[in-house]
Structures are given as structure tokens and as C-alpha cells.
Amino acid sequence: MVVTPWQNDLTVELKEAFGDQILELSTGLGQDYLVAGPESVIAILEHLKLEDEYDYLVDITAVDWPDKPERFELVYILYSFARNHRLRVKTRIAEGSHPPTAVGVHLTADWLEREVFDMFGIEFDGHPNMKRLLLPEEWQGHPLRKDHGILQMDNRWVQENMGIDSGQ
């Protein structure tokens, strides 16, 4: 993917407001994204919502890079109805760190962050209901981590609740 710098009125304004907290402003495959420090992501989301009309949080997801020092990449996809423009806000966090929740800015974040917690084990600080979304609450393990095998499951849970001895 050829990555080129992303520059327009919006990026100038964001640079003014957040300065060094924004680490990268780029365009790849015609899609704009910015990379920011984990502590300023919520402020950026709020700024984009209130000042720049990015009022629709499309999705929150994570990507696991086990070999990198900051293991997880959190991705927030935003859309502005007024500008008809979509952008991604990305940040990198280390394993075990607790990023702040975005529920205060976008209500959509509630279930999306619960799904990220369920699948990756990333706990969001300040989330009103931080529990698993899809898997059973007592389930052990976070399946979308790269060190989780595709056939691996919580054998104990399956034995106890499904009555299947092998766990498969």
C-alpha cells in the first residue's frame, strides 16, 4: 500500500488543536487515517464530533501484532454525514493497558468495545458494562488474539456446560 501524507483544512486544524499528540496523518488506497497516542484518542473523537461533524462512529475494532512492543492497534472508523467523508483514527496500546472508553462520546461504542474486550481481552476504563458480548461470561480466552489457535476452545467450559467430555 502506497501511503502518502494527508493534508487539507481538516488536518491543519487537527494539528493546531492536538499538535504532537497526532503521530501520523496519511492516506492509503484513497482512505484517510490518523494515528494518535492512546491518551488523546477520546479527545480527538470528541473534537471530530463536535467541531468537524464526524458524528457517526462506524466501527471500533482491534488488530493484534504480537511481535510489536505495543501489541494492539485500536481502530475507530468515523463518518461525517455533512462532509460525506470517512476516516480512521488509530492508536497503539501495549498488552495489559486499559484505554479509556468512547461511550461518553458515541453510544455505539458500548457494544463495540465489549466485542473488542471479548475477542482481544482489551479492557476499557470507564465502560459502564465491561463484559463479554458474544461468548459466555465465564469463558476463558480471547479468540481473535494471534496466539489463540483456530481449533482451541475453553475445554473446561464445554465439558461443564455442554457435557462433551473431549471438550471438542
Partner 1 sequence: MPEATFLDASELVLNMGPQHPSTHGVLRVILKLDGEKVMGTECVIGYLHRGVEKIGENRTYQMFAPYVDRMDYIAAVSNGLGYCLAVEKLMGLEAPPRAQVARVLLTELNRIASHLFWLGTHALDIGAITPLFYTLREREEILKIFENYCGARLTTHAFRIGGLQYELYDGFEREVKALCDWVIPKIDEYEELLTSNRIWVQRLKGVGILNADDCKAYGVTGPVLRAAGVKWDIRKALPYSGYEKFDFEVPITHNADTYDRYVVRMVEMRQSVRILRQAVENIPAGPIIAKVPKVIKPPAGEAYVSIESPKGELGYYIVSDGSTQPYRLRVRPPSLINLQALDRMARGCLVADIVAIIGTLDIVLGEVDR
Contact between 86 and partner 1 per CB under 8 A: yes
150's grid cell: 483456530
Contact between 136 and partner 1 per CB under 8 A: yes
Contact between 88 and partner 1 per CB under 8 A: yes
Contact between 122 and partner 1 per CB under 8 A: no
Instruction: Out of 111, 123, 130, 158, point to the residue binding partner 1 (CB under 8 A).
Output: 111
Residue with cell 489457535: 149
Nearer residue to partner 1 within complex by CB, 15 or 145: 145
* Residues 6+ positions from 21 with CB-CB distance below 8 Å: 36, 37, 39, 40, 44
CA atoms of 111 and 61, how far apart (whole Å) = 11
Contact between 31 and partner 1 per CB under 8 A: yes
Q: How far is the CB of 166 from partner 1 (least distance, A)?
A: 19
Stretch that binds partner 1, among 6-14, 15-23, 140-148, 159-167 (CB under 8 A): 140-148
Instruction: Encode burial over 17-26: b for 16+ CB neighbours within 10 A, e otherwise.
Output: bbeebbeebb
Contact between 21 and partner 1 per CB under 8 A: no
Instruction: Count residues binding partner 1 (CB under 8 A).
Output: 34
- Contacts with partner 1 by CB under 8 A lie at 1, 28-29, 31, 55-59, 61, 63-64, 75, 77, 81, 84, 86, 88, 106-108, 110-112, 119, 132-136, 143-144, 148, 150
